[in-house]
Homo-oligomer: A and B are copies of this chain.
Amino acid sequence: MTSYEKLINAQKINSSMLCVGLDPDINKLPVSYNKRPEEILRFNQAIIEATKDIACCYKINFAFFEQYGITGYEILKKTFEAIPDWLFTIADAKRGDIGNTSAAYANSVLDYFKADSITVSPYMGKDSVTPFLNFQKKMVFILALTSNEGSGDFQRLISDGQPVYSHVVNKSKSWGGKSQIGYVVGATHPDELKVIRKLIPENCLLIPGIGAQGGDIEATIKANDRGPAIINVSRAIIYASNGDDFAEKAREKALEYREMMKK
- List the interface of chain A (C-beta within 8 A of B): 23, 25, 61, 63-64, 66-70, 72-74, 77, 92, 94-102, 104-105, 107-109, 111-113, 121-129, 143, 146-155, 157-160, 164, 167-168, 171, 213
> Beyond A64-B101, A66-B112, A157-B157: 8 further Cβ-contacts under 8 Å?
A23-B101, A61-B101, A66-B104, A69-B113, A70-B73, A99-B148, A125-B151, A154-B167
Whole-angstrom distance between the alpha carbons of A77 and B74 in the complex? 14
Whole-angstrom distance between the alpha carbons of A66 and B110 in the complex? 11
Asked whether, in the complex, the Cβ of B97 is within 8 Å of the Cβ of A63, the reply is yes
Q: Which residues of B contact A102 (CB under 8 A)?
A: 63
Residue of B nearest to A171 (CB): B153
Please give the distance in Å from A73's CB to the nearest CB on chain B.
Answer: 5
| CB-defined A-B contacts under 8 Å, sample of 21 | A25-B104, A63-B97, A63-B102, A63-B105, A66-B104, A68-B112, A70-B74, A92-B97, A94-B96, A98-B147, A123-B143, A124-B148, A124-B151, A125-B149, A125-B151, A125-B152, A125-B153, A127-B150, A154-B164, A157-B157, A158-B160
Residue among A25, A61, A63, A68 with max Cβ neighbours from chain B (10 Å): A63
